């Protein structure tokens, strides 16, 4: 039975499966393996091998307890009141104590949580902050493919690293606790695109991006500027300029039941638009 479970674990390693899905598979397989252990323990007891039977039965009950906790967490996203795994993790120093969190927070480990400052990102010029508004983008499936291709190019050129700033899971856990459990992304708070521009096509404002001006493709369309829909903006009275376009999202980590879990997610864009009234 254990050879079978080891073989399943080996072959699952060949596939890029969501961490939660993989954990659910392991939980189901764990229940099957536990049923086998219960069967063996009862067979020992029937044959009057009481010491071996009782030992296996005790192990089976302990494993069943943790399997039930895993079932609650991975299938219902709830932590049962009888789950002691967080306490065990703290006892075994698998999670930092409060004093360690406070000490490490003073050593520069909060770099991923620093607020974004546009004044330090002048990839498309410097605009007056009083005339810059956040813009909401809509990304179609075809534009998502274009964005994914640009992300791959940026990674090959080492324009960013999706490695959580080189931090271990322990350091990531510290930041998650300090930041109230908000997810931490592998690329941090955002990465400015190498080149971007905005083109008007009919009534739409399309964002083009690429590694340079010679190689651009559509990656999204602006649907809202500030609190106003782009359809209600009088473009004959205002001139809009694309002030910034950032890449954000992607893989992220969050606090799990007894540690840190990583989840996959598509990269997306965050943009800001500068405006100027027509003379």
Same domain, 259 and 199: yes
Domain of residue 15 covers 4-94
The whole-number pLDDT of residue 5 equals: 56
The whole-number pLDDT of residue 140 equals: 92
Inter-residue contact 59 to 247 (CB < 8 Å): no
Inter-residue contact 266 to 258 (CB < 8 Å): no
Residue 56: inside a domain: yes
Average confidence (pLDDT) over 77-98? 60
Average confidence (pLDDT) over 22-45? 83
Q: Which residue, of 94, 122, 149, is where some domain finishes? A: 94
Residue 117: inside a domain: no
Please choose, from the candidates 256, 208, 237, the residue with its C-alpha nearest in 3D space to the C-alpha of residue 89: 256
Same domain, 159 and 34: no
**Tens digit of pLDDT for each residue in 41-73?**
888 888 888 888 888 888 888 888 888 877 877
Same domain, 142 and 233: yes
Average confidence (pLDDT) over 120-132? 65
Task: For the chain, give the DSSP string.
Answer: -HHHHHHHHHHHTTS---HHHHHHHHHHHHHHHHHHHHHHHHHHHHTT-HHHHHHHHHHHHHHHHHHHHHHHHHHHS---TT--HHHHHHHTTSS--HHHHHHHHTTTTTGGGSPP-GGG--BTB---GGGEEEEEEE--HHHHHHHHHHHHHHHHTTS---SGGG--HHHHHHHHHHTTT--EETTTT-EE-SEEEEEEETTEEEEEEEEETTEEEEEEEEEEETTEEGGGS-TTTEEEEEEEEEEEESSEEEE-SSSEEEE---EEEEEEEEEEE--
Q: Which of 22-31, 86-95, 170-179, 218-227 has the lowest mean pLDDT?
A: 86-95
Mean pLDDT of the chain: 76
What's this model's pTM, rounded to 2 decimal places?
A: 0.55
The whole-number pLDDT of residue 111 equals: 33
Residue 27: inside a domain: yes
Average confidence (pLDDT) over 159-179? 82
Please choose, from the candidates 198, 268, 225, the residue with its C-alpha nearest in 3D space to the C-alpha of residue 132: 225
| Number of domains present in the structure of the chain | 2
Structure tokens at 109: 């480990």
The whole-number pLDDT of residue 78 equals: 65
Residue 147: inside a domain: yes
Residue 157: inside a domain: yes
Same domain, 191 and 262: yes
Residue 119: inside a domain: no
Q: Which residue, of 66, 94, 122, is where some domain finishes? A: 94
Same domain, 84 and 172: no
pLDDT over 80 at 3, yes or no? no
Classify residue 270 as exposed, middle or buried by CB count within 10 Å of its CB (0-12, 13-18, 19+): middle
Residue 107: inside a domain: no
Same domain, 137 and 196: yes
Inter-residue contact 109 to 174 (CB < 8 Å): yes
The whole-number pLDDT of residue 222 equals: 87
Same domain, 195 and 258: yes
**Tens digit of pLDDT for each residue in 181-221?**
788 888 888 888 999 998 888 778 899 999 988 889 999 98
pLDDT over 70 at 74, yes or no? yes
Same domain, 80 and 198: no
265 φ/ψ angles, rounded to the nearest 5 degrees: -165, 150
């Amino acid at each position: 039975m254990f050879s079978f479970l080891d073989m399943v674990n080996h072959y699952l390693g060949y596939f890029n499966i969501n961490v939660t899905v993989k954990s659910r598979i392991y939980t189901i397989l764990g229940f099957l393996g536990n049923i086998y252990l219960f069967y063996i323990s009862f067979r020992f007891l029937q044959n009057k091998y009481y010491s071996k039977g009782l030992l296996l039965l005790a192990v089976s009950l302990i494993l069943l307890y943790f399997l039930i906790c895993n079932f609650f967490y991975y299938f219902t996203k709830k932590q049962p009141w009888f789950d002691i795994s967080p306490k065990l993790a703290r006892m075994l120093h698998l999670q930092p104590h409060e004093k360690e969190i406070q000490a490490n927070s003073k050593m520069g480990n909060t770099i991923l949580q620093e607020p974004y400052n546009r004044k330090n990102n002048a990839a498309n010029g410097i605009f007056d902050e009083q005339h810059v508004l956040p813009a909401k983008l809509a990304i179609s499936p075809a534009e998502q493919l274009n964005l994914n291709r640009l992300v791959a190019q940026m990674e090959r050129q080492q324009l960013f690293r999706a490695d959580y700033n080189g931090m271990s899971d322990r350091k990531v856990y510290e930041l998650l606790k300090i930041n109230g459990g908000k997810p931490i992304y592998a690329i941090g708070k955002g990465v400015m695109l190498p080149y971007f521009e905005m083109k008007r096509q009919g009534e739409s404002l399309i964002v083009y991006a690429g590694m340079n001006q010679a190689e651009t493709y559509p990656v999204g369309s602006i649907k809202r500027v500030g609190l106003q829909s782009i359809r209600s903006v009088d473009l004959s009275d205002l001139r809009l300029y694309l002030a910034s376009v950032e890449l954000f999202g992607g893989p992220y980590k969050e606090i799990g039941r007894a540690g840190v879990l990583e989840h996959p997610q598509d990269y997306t864009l965050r943009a800001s638009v500068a405006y100027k009234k027509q003379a």
